[in-house]
């Protein structure tokens, strides 16, 4: 089935299409409602699309991507495995693993497909290189038996057929199950409008948001007079020879200044809305591209960052892990317990207090059964293991000591004893020993010495006067007065 027949079948019926429209549909990117032609390359001119792609790529390439083996519950990194070397450190001779995954995500997010040539060598067909191929150089065809064939164009323009087992084909969400849908094509109207707004805004400010003013004269102007005034006004514009100099008017002419800002034209508001619209298409939270509303706080931003890992990056991790397991590992290795895994623990780290609370619960705080060992916690914190055997044991809740039940005297035996026998039995029992260690308090106090300083002023002669007598003639009242020295 040719390209035209495939398009007809996909559209659901016969559609008339010119050769120019068909060329644009296949090779050039479709024109948007805003009149801007959007392709994977031109979409990067939109800063929001560039930021969204970069955020997704950084989230994939900045964390470890390794090969593990599950051996009876013990998961070990397979450091020497060829796939682990290619994914984690060196995929080829000119790229690092970070650069490789970054470019791969740009292809996958913008074009919907990423193609990697898998170079296998030797009798064991071990992977030695992973080489990225630009999506525009690859044509994919599905055979009647559902096998895929890849036609790759070289730099000289020659095409070469490569079998399916030599291509690692990563797909974005797909409609036909064998080709990913192009993200730029699906969001082309939003991206195109954003590019059009930016260009319009730039042009508007290049020449001024609106005409600088209105010059009106009383009499009608002829063509020559109109041309003369237009040239004369140009001299007063920015960069003209009479810029910011007094304007000379005659014939009753008046000049009325006029200005219009970008806010008045609603350019800024529309551009802000397009940020949210494009982020929605890429599945990225606006705060991750540097846009947040006034209601965002530090606490809410931290939760948004965690939500970005859970709801945006985790689906990409799972997509890439499953694709790598199927295309890079052999069926025998998968059956033996080999698998690939991203490690996003560093991105999930919250504040130190939050991590401490999580680890405490994992280690069995509150008399609960722990689900983490000490070495598990040390591994999550990128710390070395310890050799203490207890560090690899799951904490268990403490077991309460059993309470000894009091021994009971057999009723039949006690009932048959006489009073003298009971008395003799009690006397034979050892006396209880109670050890009470009472420490007498030892209080030491130093000698207390108190010095009282009193000042008694010198008094002069005292004059006493009797003021009252009782019935027997005894004195009952007297006053004293200090007199001056003679």
What pLDDT score was predicted for residue 474? 81
**From CA 197, how far away is CA 217, in angstroms rounded?**
36
One-character DSSP codes across 156-202: TS-EEEE-GGGEEEEESSBSSSSSBPPHHHHTHHHHHHHHHHHHHHH
Tell me which DSSP letter residue 31 carries: B
360: phi then psi, degrees, rounded to nearest 5: -60, -45
307 touches 298 (CB < 8 A):
no
Q: Is 367 left (phi over 0), alpha (psi -120 to 50) or beta?
A: left
In tens digits, what is the pLDDT along the chain, a chain of 486 residues?
444 444 334 334 444 444 434 444 444 556 667 778 888 888 888 889 999 999 999 999 999 999 999 887 778 889 999 999 999 999 999 999 999 999 999 999 999 999 999 999 888 888 999 999 999 999 999 999 999 999 999 878 888 999 998 999 999 999 999 999 998 889 888 888 888 878 877 776 666 545 566 777 777 777 887 788 777 777 766 566 766 677 767 767 777 766 655 555 566 778 888 898 999 999 999 989 888 776 666 667 778 888 888 899 999 999 999 999 999 999 999 999 999 999 887 677 666 677 788 888 888 887 778 888 888 888 777 677 888 888 888 888 776 656 656 555 454 455 566 777 777 776 777 766 666 565 555 656 566 565 655 555 666 677 778 788 888 778 778 887 777 654
Question: Which residues have CB under 8 Å from 4's CB, separation 6+?
Answer: 17, 22
CB 38 within 8 A of CB 188: yes
CA–CA distance, 24 with 97 (Å, rounded to integer): 35
Query: Residue 272 and residue 293: Cα distance in Å, rounded?
Result: 11
Secondary structure class of 13 (helix, strand, coil):
coil
Closest by alpha carbon to 63, among 314, 355, 385, 353? 314
């Amino acid at each position: 089935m040719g390209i035209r027949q495939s398009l007809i079948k996909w559209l659901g019926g016969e559609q008339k299409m010119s050769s120019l429209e068909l060329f644009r549909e296949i090779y050039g990117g479709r024109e948007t409602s805003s009149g801007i032609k959007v392709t994977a390359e031109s979409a990067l001119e939109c800063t929001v699309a560039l930021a969204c792609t970069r955020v997704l790529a950084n989230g994939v390439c900045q964390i470890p991507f390794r090969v593990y083996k599950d051996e009876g519950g013990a998961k070990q990194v397979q450091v020497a495995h060829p796939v682990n070397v290619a994914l984690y450190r060196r995929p080829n001779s000119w790229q690092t693993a970070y650069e490789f995954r970054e470019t791969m995500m740009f292809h996958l997010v913008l074009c919907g497909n990423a193609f990697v040539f898998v170079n296998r060598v030797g009798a064991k067909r071990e992977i030695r290189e992973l080489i990225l191929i630009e999506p525009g150089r690859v044509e994919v065809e599905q055979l009647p038996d559902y096998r895929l064939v890849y036609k790759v164009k070289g730099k000289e323009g020659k095409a070469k057929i490569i079998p399916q087992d030599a291509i690692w084909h990563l797909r974005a969400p797909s409609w036909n199950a064998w080709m990913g849908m192009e993200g730029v094509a699906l969001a082309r109207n939003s991206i195109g409008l954003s590019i059009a707004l930016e260009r319009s805004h730039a042009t508007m400010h290049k020449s001024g948001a609106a005409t600088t003013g209105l010059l009106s004269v009383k009499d009608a102007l002829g063509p020559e007079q109109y041309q003369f005034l237009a040239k004369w006004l140009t001299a007063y514009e920015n960069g003209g020879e009479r810029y910011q100099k007094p304007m000379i008017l005659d014939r009753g002419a008046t000049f009325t200044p006029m200005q219009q800002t970008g806010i008045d034209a609603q350019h800024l508001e529309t551009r802000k809305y397009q940020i949210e619209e494009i982020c929605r298409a890429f599945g990225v939270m606006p705060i991750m591209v540097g846009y947040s509303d006034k209601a965002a706080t530090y606490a809410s931003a931290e939760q948004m960052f965690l939500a970005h890992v859970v709801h945006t990056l985790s689906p990409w991790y799972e997509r890439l892990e499953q694709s790598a397991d199927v295309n890079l590992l052999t069926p025998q290795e998968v059956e033996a317990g080999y698998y690939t895994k991203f490690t996003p623990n560093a991105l999930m780290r919250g504040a130190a207090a939050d991590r401490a609370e999580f680890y405490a619960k994992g280690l069995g705080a509150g008399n609960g059964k722990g689900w983490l060992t000490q070495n598990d916690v040390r591994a999550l914190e990128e710390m070395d293991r310890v050799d203490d055997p207890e560090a690899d044991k799951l904490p268990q809740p403490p077991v309460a000591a059993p309470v000894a039940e009091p021994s009971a005297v057999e009723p039949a035996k006690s009932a048959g004893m006489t009073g003298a026998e009971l008395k003799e039995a009690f006397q034979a029992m050892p006396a209880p020993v109670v050890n009470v260690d009472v420490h007498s308090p030892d209080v030491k106090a130093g000698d207390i010495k108190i010095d009282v300083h009193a000042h008694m002023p010198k008094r002069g002669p005292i004059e006493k006067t009797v003021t009252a007598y009782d019935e027997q003639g005894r004195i009952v009242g007297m006053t004293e007065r200090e007199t001056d020295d003679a």
